[in-house]
Amino acid sequence: MKVAIIGAGLVGSLAALNFARMGNEVHLYEYREDIRTAELVQGRSINLALSQRGRKALAAVGLEQQVLATAIPMQGRMLHDVRGRTSVVLYDPCTKQCLYSVGRKQLNEVLLNACEKLPNISCHFNHKLTSADIREGVMQFKRAEEHITASADLIVGCDGAFSKVRQHMVKAAGFNYSQQYIEHGYVELCIPAKSGEFQMPPNYLHIWPRDTFMMIALPNQDKSFTVTLFMPFKNFAAIKTPEQLLEFFNKFYADAVPLIGEERLVQDFFKLKPQYLLSVKCQPYHFSDKALILGDAAHAMVPYYGQGMNAGMEDVTLLTSLLNKPLKLQEVLEQFSEMRWQDAHTICDLALYNYVEMRDLTKRWSFRCRKWLDTLLFRLFPIFWVPLYNSVSFTSMPYSKCIANRNWQDRFLKRSFAGALLAGLAAYLGALYFRGLHAS
């Protein structure tokens, strides 16, 4: 089968590897130049949190260890309060599992290098998809001034949140679709290395939660941190001058100002407009046996659960397992859509929710109390009581099962709490009664 994969990013190149290993003729089209020789693109998140689902997908193509070798483990969140005091919340105090900060460029390089080793993958960079007839499997590309026509039995759109392949599928009857922007945007800043060393402890995801906005930082291999400030657009709009910016930072992120450096802060903050964040939901993900979308093209999400890349890579794991079954391609794609959409919708919603948790709840007593209870129960019953964050990040449990699990846990705790109250009341009444008996 001739498979055209649109987009040679993380999910596209991983999908290419999997299709090729099953003996298909794979053509991998990318509208940018080869990322291995390209300058970094400002505005796209340059480091990502790799967790279990991504690791599993990389392991299946024999690349997990190579990627982990250069990744930076993050064992928990380090919270920075307004006075600069820090505290740590471990992701997994029981079994010490970590997230791994990986560079987008490095990871993409590893995947593309693996693609190039397979004779049945052809990479076509600088090919911009201009239109497609998904019914007929015909695509039009533009390379510089040249127009190129290509065809394939299956077109796989791994072309990101603004997917061109999806644009053609949205027109088909019965294709459910939504795109939802949040009212918060982001800008990327940088805490550079100092004297060749990290300026903060590297093995954490640093968070500055500030209720309605927040800042985070992930470590890079070059000992710098990529810092991302998330805030409502109206707050961004209110900061017009370097003075206003420094006033704002000195008020809310005072400890970060000397690490970033005032000059660099001003320069980076005003370099680009704040970027938009959106959730994309689709159902189904395929069109007949002719087209399919994976990753952000199918389910772009806000970045707050660190699951965007992991969910995209898990798409490939599921698809590959179905392709290895004795099914017709149409059945594979149907089953893929059917098995995947609820999980994808769930993680999109969880990612939105986690923004509230990260910027606000982590500071609250009730949240910390629940977290402590979760950890205790996880320690006591590691099979039965896996907290939500852990099931999402450190297992391959379907996302919708993770949330069903959490709902069950919530009900259990509520009932236990009510049960404990009732038991206490019964004991009290019992005591009164017996005292009464005794007195009479």
CB of 131 to a copy of itself, least distance (A): 11
Is 122 an interacting residue with respect to a copy of itself (CB under 8 A)? no
- Cα angle, residue 331 at apex, residues 327 and 335 outer, rounded to 5°: 110
Using the rule CB under 8 A, which residue among 42, 95, 130, 176 binds a copy of itself? 176
Q: Does residue number 417 form part of the binding site for a copy of itself (CB under 8 A)?
A: no
Q: How far is the CB of 179 from a copy of itself (least distance, A)?
A: 5
Count of residues touching a copy of itself (by CB under 8 A): 14
What is the nearest approach in angstroms of a copy of itself to the Cβ of residue 239? 19
Those residues with Cβ within 8 angstroms of residue 273's Cβ, 6 or more apart along the chain or in another chain? 185
Among 151, 178, 244, 321, binds a copy of itself (CB under 8 A): 178
Residue 171, interface with a copy of itself (CB under 8 A)?
yes
Scan residues 218-277 and list those touching a copy of itself (CB under 8 A). 276
Q: Which is nearer to a copy of itself, 237 or 426 (CB)?
A: 237
Give the pair of three-digit tokens for residue 60: 């299946």
Residue 133 touching a copy of itself (CB under 8 A): no
Q: Tell me how far apart the alpha carbons of residues 259 and 80 are, in angstroms, rounded to a whole number.
A: 13
Q: How many CB atoms lie within 10 A of CB 415?
A: 11
Q: Is 113 in the site for a copy of itself (CB under 8 A)?
A: no
Q: Is 416 in the site for a copy of itself (CB under 8 A)?
A: no
Residue 173 within binding range of a copy of itself, rule CB under 8 A: yes
Residues paired with 128 in a beta bridge: 142
Which 8-state DSSP code applies to residue 303? G
Q: Which of 348, 342, 375 is nearest to 388 (CA)?
A: 375
Residue 170 binds to a copy of itself (criterion: CB under 8 A): yes
Burial 9-31 (b: 16+ CB within 10 A, else e): bbbbbbbbbbbbbeebebbbbbb
Candidate ranges 29-37, 176-184, 197-205, 429-437; the one touching a copy of itself (CB under 8 A): 176-184
- The least CB distance from residue 166 to a copy of itself, in Å, is 11
The interface region with a copy of itself, picked from 105-113, 170-178, 420-428, 431-439 by CB under 8 A, is 170-178
**CB-based contact 148:140 (threshold 8 Å):** yes
For residues 13 and 32, give the distance between their C-alpha atoms in angstroms, rounded to a whole number.
Answer: 14
Map residues 136-165 to x or -, x wherever contact with a copy of itself holds by CB under 8 A. --------------------------x---
Does 42 help bind a copy of itself (rule: CB under 8 A)?
Answer: no
d(CA 120, CA 419): 63
For every residue of 400-439, DSSP letters joined together read HHHHHHHHHHHHHHHHHHHHHHHHHHHHHHHHHHHHHHHH
Contact yes or no for 52/393 (Cβ under 8 A): yes
- d(CA 295, CA 280) in angstroms, rounded, equals 10
As a whole number of Å, the CA-based R_g of the chain is 25
Smaller CB separation from a copy of itself, 173 or 437: 173
- What percent of the residues of the chain are helix, what percent strand, and what percent coil, each to the nearest 5? 45, 25, 30
By the rule CB under 8 A, 436 interacts with a copy of itself: no
Give 55 or 299: the residue with its C-beta nearer to a copy of itself: 299
Contact status, residue 30 vs residue 36, Cβ threshold 8 Å: no
| Beta carbon of residue 173, minimum distance to a copy of itself (angstroms, whole number) | 5
Rounded Cα distance between 146 and 126, Å, is: 11
The reply on whether position 65 binds a copy of itself by CB under 8 A is no
Minimum distance between the CB of residue 9 and a copy of itself, rounded to whole angstroms? 20
Taking the least distance from each CB to a copy of itself, the nearer of 181 and 408 is 181
Contact residue for a copy of itself among 56, 118, 142, 175 (CB under 8 A): 175
Nearer to a copy of itself, 346 or 391 (CB): 346
Q: Return d(Cα 176, Cα 72) in angstroms, integer.
A: 39
Using CB under 8 A, which of the segments 38-46, 56-64, 74-82, 169-177 binds a copy of itself?
Answer: 169-177
| Footprint on this chain of a copy of itself (rule: CB under 8 A) | 162, 167, 170-171, 173-181, 276
